[in-house]
Amino acid sequence: MLIKCNKHTKEDLELWESYNEADIIYYNMHDMKEKEKRAVDLIKKINPDYVSISWGKDSTVLAHLCYKSGHFNYVWFRNQYENPYCYMVKDIYIKKYNINNFEIFKKVSLENIKNDFINFHSLKCHKIAEKKFGKKYMTGIRIEESGIRKVTILKNGIYSNNRSSPIAFWKNEDIFAYLAFYKLPVHPNYAMLGGGRYNRKNIRVGPLTMASQFGQKQWEKEYYFNEINKINAI
C-alpha cells in the first residue's frame, strides 16, 4: 500500500500501479509462502531481544515477519535529518498491527554521523538498546543492497556476533512482492521514479543529505530540493 504524497507525479503513480500489479503476479508465481515460512521459523529459532527497524522496504517486511513470528521489541534508531515520511510508515504500521513494544532512540548529530557513521552504527547505537533489551538483535539487511553487506554476509553468514539477518538472501523482487501481497505501508520514496528514470530497487529512505550511491544524490535533489536547502542553510 503505497503512501502517496504531493511529490509524486502522475507518471510516477501510473508506473507504480503497473509495478504493483506485477508484484502480485510475482508473489503468486513464485514460492513465496515457503520462503516466508522459512523466515518465520528462523526468527522463532533466533528469538532476538529486539528488532531494528528503519521503515524502509526491507525492515518493514522484517517487521511483519516478526509480527507473524510472535511479539518482539521493535527499535528505531532515528537520525537527526530522518526522511520525514518514515514517520508516516511507522504510524500506519503500528496502528494497523497494534504494536505497543516500540522504542525510538535518537542518534548523534548529522555531523558526527558523517565523521564516524560506520563506527557509531555498528558499535554504539546498539549498545544503547542492549542496556534495555539485551544483546541479540535482528536487522533487515540484504546482500543485494551493497557490496559491503554482500561480503559481510557471505563471510559471516546471517549470524554475526549478536546480529542476525533472516532475509539476507531475499531478492528485491521478493521484498516488493511481499509488501504488495500483504498491503503493507510502503514509503513514498519508492514511487518517486522520475517517470521511469529511476529504478525503485536503488532508492533508499535514509537520512536526507546522506545519499551516496546509485545516482541518489541527483534523485534527492529532484524530489527533496527544498528540504536539502533548509538543511544546508543550518
Report the pLDDT value the prediction gives residue 118, as an integer from 0 to 100.
Answer: 39
**What residues pair up with 159 in beta bridges, in sequence order?**
164
Residue 180 has pLDDT above 90, yes or no: yes
Q: How far apart are CA 113 and CA 111, in angstroms?
A: 5
Whole-number average pLDDT of the chain: 84
**Domain range summary for the chain, segments of one domain joined by +:** 10-233
Nearest CA among 194, 144, 149, 148 for reference residue 172: 144
pLDDT digits (tens, 9 = 90+) for 118-152: 344 545 677 778 888 899 999 988 988 766 666 67
Report the pLDDT value the prediction gives residue 227, as an integer from 0 to 100.
Answer: 85
Percent of the chain with pLDDT over 70: 84
Report the pLDDT value the prediction gives residue 144, as an integer from 0 to 100.
Answer: 80
**Among 10-19, 41-50, 113-122, 202-211, which stretch is predicted with the lowest mean pLDDT?**
113-122
Mention every residue, 6+ apart, whose C-beta is less than 8 A from residue 182.
64
Q: How far apart are CA 4 and CA 194, in angstroms?
A: 15
Pick among 3.40.50.720, 1.20.140.10, 3.40.50.620, 3.30.465.10: CATH of 10-233: 3.40.50.620
* Cβ count near 7 (within 10 Å): 14
Report the pLDDT value the prediction gives residue 120, as an integer from 0 to 100.
Answer: 44
SS3 77: strand
pLDDT digits (tens, 9 = 90+) for 19-31: 999 999 999 999 8
Instruction: Tell me what the mean pLDDT of segment 103-123 comes to.
Output: 49
Q: What are phi and psi of 160, to 5 degrees?
A: -145, 105
